[in-house]
């Protein structure tokens, strides 16, 4: 994680290319490409003074949408959910990958069954 953003390297090799730019004082981690032009990732301030956020970045428009405040390690699942962690508790929330929007209430405490 660093101020340069999230980079990618082709599976064929070559030089790293920027994939997700970040604002000054922020870093990005745990990226996951969820469509051809959208990346889900955790946004973190480099000072660590504010909670992490789960963000979707659209590379075709440069738009960034915060979908979850105070969450990290987000992953999109084929079931149509984003799972993430807040304060040691796992959550799952229904998510529309086409619109990059949460579509329902979160299920919590998944790690404890």
Per-residue pLDDT of the chain (113 residues; tens, 9 = 90+): 556 788 888 889 999 888 888 888 888 889 999 999 999 999 988 877 788 999 999 999 999 999 999 999 999 999 999 999 998 899 999 999 999 999 998 888 665 55
Degrees, nearest 5: CA angle 35-32-56: 70
Q: Rounded to whole angstroms, how far apart are CA atoms 112 and 99?
A: 31
pLDDT at 6: 87
Q: What is the pTM of this model?
A: 0.85
Q: Rounded to whole angstroms, how far apart are CA atoms 34 and 38?
A: 6
């Amino acid at each position: 994680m660093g101020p340069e953003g999230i980079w990618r390297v082709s599976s064929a090799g070559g030089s790293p290319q920027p994939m997700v730019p970040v604002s000054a004082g922020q870093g990005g981690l745990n990226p996951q490409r969820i469509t051809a032009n959208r990346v889900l990732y955790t946004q973190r301030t480099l000072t660590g003074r504010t909670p992490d956020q789960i963000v979707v970045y659209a590379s075709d428009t440069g738009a960034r949408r915060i979908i979850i405040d105070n969450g990290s390690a987000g992953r999109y699942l084929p079931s149509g959910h984003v799972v993430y962690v807040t304060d040691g508790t796992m959550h799952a929330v229904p998510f529309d990958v086409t619109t990059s929007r949460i579509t329902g209430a979160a299920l919590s405490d998944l790690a404890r069954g």
